Amino acid sequence: GNDNGGGGDKRLDGMRITFDLLALALQTDSTRIATVHIPGGNGRFQIDGVNDGYHSLSHHGQDPEKISQLKLIEIEYSRALARFLDRLAATNDGQATLLDNTTVFFGSGMGNASSHSNRNLPVLVAGGGFQHGRSLKFEPGKTPLCNLYVTMLQKLGIETDSFGNATGTLNDFA
């Protein structure tokens, strides 16, 4: 059963099931790394108030109605992610929680899908022993996203100073 406007949507149900399986795989140490692709596509989500597909809505051209519908889909994505993070946080893993011992990176390949811009990408990092509970904003064009990747790799114990176009690390983040 669902307690939100996304009840009965197969893509959202599939995403929740995928997160459940991933939590179980991490808990049982069946894997230590995973990539999850969150569906968008052109089909309409079964969410109250949404009348078009994610891809079409993402090309909103600043139309407030399309943006409003896109937000409803992204709220459901965020709820599924929060449920996954809550499950990791509630799972003991030695002296800490599974979330403490797992780094979750949640992001997008588009900063503004309406214009296909891959600048100023929104990302969320949870767990992994990083400093959390704040929002960091970087000057566009000054701090490559790869700096975050180098910081994450170093936190995992990988000795590297480079990844892609990295120019350093995010010292305030670690």
Residue 115 DSSP label: G
Give the per-residue pLDDT at 94.
93
Checking if the pLDDT of 4 tops 70, the result is: no
- Decide the pairing of beta strands 103-107 and 92-93: unpaired
Q: Give the pair of three-digit tokens for residue 57.
A: 């809505």
At 95-153, the pLDDT tens digits run 999 999 999 999 987 777 777 777 788 899 999 988 889 998 888 788 999 999 999 99
Compute the mean pLDDT over every residue in the chain, rounded to the nearest whole number. Answer: 89
Mean per-residue pLDDT for 48-76?
A: 92
Checking if the pLDDT of 3 tops 70, the result is: no
Give the per-residue pLDDT at 31.
95
DSSP result, 50-93 = --SBHHHHHS-TT-HHHHHHHHHHHHHHHHHHHHHHHHHHTSEE
Q: What's the CA gap between 25 and 39, in Å, rounded?
A: 21
Phi and psi at residue 70, to the nearest 5°: -60, -40
Residue extents of the structural domains in the chain: 10-95
Q: What's the CA gap between 77 and 47, in Å, rounded?
A: 12
Checking if the pLDDT of 2 tops 50, the result is: no
pLDDT category, 8, cuts 50, 70, 90? Answer: low
Please say whether the beta carbons of 174 and 155 come within 8 A.
yes
HSE-CB for 117 with a 13 A CA cutoff = 11
Give the per-residue pLDDT at 7.
58
Q: Is 8 exposed, middle or buried (0-12, 13-18, 19+ CB in 10 A)?
A: exposed
**pTM (predicted TM-score):** 0.88
Give the per-residue pLDDT at 168.
94
Share of the chain above pLDDT 70, in %: 94
Where helices occur in the chain by DSSP H, the ranges are 10-27, 54-58, 64-89, 146-155
Checking if the pLDDT of 42 tops 60, the result is: yes
